[in-house]
Amino acid sequence: MDEVINILKKVGAVLSNDHFVGTSGLHFDTYVNKDFLYPHTEDTKRVCELMAENAKAFNPDVVVGPALGGIILSQWTANFLSASLGREILGVYTEKKDGAQAFTRGYDSFITGKKILIVEDITTTGGSVIQLINLVKDAGGEVCGVLVMLNKNPKLVNGELMGVPFVALSDYEVATYQPENCPLCKNGVPVNTKVGHGKKFLESQK
């Protein structure tokens, strides 16, 4: 959906021609800084409205997103779904605990026996979403679908990988590299330490 890409570009969230390191440890030359979206409330609202439109067919009871960005997405998307479905759709989130996402604050009690829609801002490897799928199942919920704002790796990240229905508002394919095979590293392109996990990567190389 070009509208999502245009919104992200408008708010300065798409950074290109640089050397970035992602959460997964992969290297790439284009970074989508979703954190630049959230200060723009009208644009964030519109993205979540689009998410709700695409999620309506899943008919969920609860929307779950991972902290931090997923908190905003889950709340807004649940709000729009409540209006369109004519019933209250709850919005909850997971938090990092001991290095992994977990249901805290008693939110697992809202999952048991319910149809759950998982929302995420950006997927590159799909690892964080798979973690959430397993969390929902462990809490006794049924994952009716996964909806992401932007999928950077559509060849890998899809419904087959997730094992549940999967929808991305937009695909924005970005080539990624393992550090040992990174052409940016080999060509001496400095690692960006201001956004992403470049600073942590450089510290690990010392």
pLDDT, residue 23, reads 81
- The C-alpha atoms of residue 3 and residue 176 are separated, in whole angstroms, by 24
Tell me: pLDDT of 1 over 80.
no
83-101 mean pLDDT: 94
What pLDDT digit, counting tens, does each position of 16-70 carry? 999 999 888 999 999 999 999 999 999 999 999 999 999 999 999 999 999 988 9
Q: Is 94 exposed, middle or buried (0-12, 13-18, 19+ CB in 10 A)?
A: buried
- Are 81 and 13 in contact by the 8 Å Cβ rule? The answer is no
Class of the 44-175 domain? alpha beta
- The C-alpha atoms of residue 15 and residue 17 are separated, in whole angstroms, by 7
Q: Which residues contact 108 (CB under 8 A, 6 or more apart)?
A: 139
169-179 mean pLDDT: 92
Three-state DSSP class for 134?
helix
CB atoms within 10 A of CB 114: 17
